[in-house]
Amino acid sequence: MMTGTKSILLIEDNTHDSEYIKQGLLSSGNCQVEMTQSSEHALELLTSETRESLPDIILLGINLPKTNGYDFLQIIKIYYSFINIKVYVLGNSSEEYDRQRSLLLGAEEYFIKPTEPEKKVELVENLQNVIFGQS
């Protein structure tokens, strides 16, 4: 059973994907979703002196402009203050290498972002399970 509201930072430059994921998460659980389209802006949000609390979870796209998701993951995992944030990677590749790379850099899991609409429902369901199925 979930206690409290889950705070989620969604870093994804594809606005269609990010809106779809956000709406799916909001409809299924007690959460707040903050969105940004770049890892630079996400880092600014995380390190802001006016920020009251850190997110519980980061959903991280890989193919971001400038600093990609792998580089962002590597950067935040060196900050002690971010050590308890769970990061789930959202990638386009089905290559095992990309999944392994994400896990080695500290991600909890790697999810493939599908292009087919029916598979997008499955992605959101899988995210719901890992986010709201854990205590």
Identify the pLDDT of residue 3. 56
Q: Estimate to the nearest angstrom the gap between the alpha carbon of 104 and the chain centroid.
A: 16
Across 59-74, average pLDDT:
94
Whether the Cβ atoms of residue 72 and residue 87 lie closer than 8 Å to each other: no
What is the pLDDT of the chain when averaged over all its residues? 91
Q: What is the dihedral sign for C-alpha 107, 114, 96, 12?
A: negative
Residue 36 falls inside a structural domain: yes
Identify the pLDDT of residue 2. 44
Which one, of 37, 120, 106, lies nearest residue 75 by Cα? 106
* pLDDT category of residue 28 using cuts at 50, 70 and 90: confident
Indicate which CATH number applies to the domain containing 113.
3.40.50.2300
Residue 1 falls inside a structural domain: no
- Calculate the alpha carbon distances from 64 to 12, 15, 58, 69, 99 in Å: 7, 12, 14, 6, 17
Whether the Cβ atoms of residue 9 and residue 57 lie closer than 8 Å to each other: yes
User: How many domains are contained in the chain?
Assistant: 1
- Single pTM value for the model: 0.92
Residue span of the structural domain in which 12 resides = 6-132
Q: What is the pLDDT of residues 69-107, one digit of tens each?
A: 999 999 999 988 898 999 999 999 999 999 999 999 999
Across 104-119, average pLDDT:
92
Distance from C-alpha of 32 to C-alpha of 25, rounded to nearest angstrom: 9
Count other Cβ atoms within 10 Å, centred on residue 56: 18
Q: What is the pLDDT of residues 29-38, one digit of tens each?
A: 789 999 999 9
Residue 26 falls inside a structural domain: yes
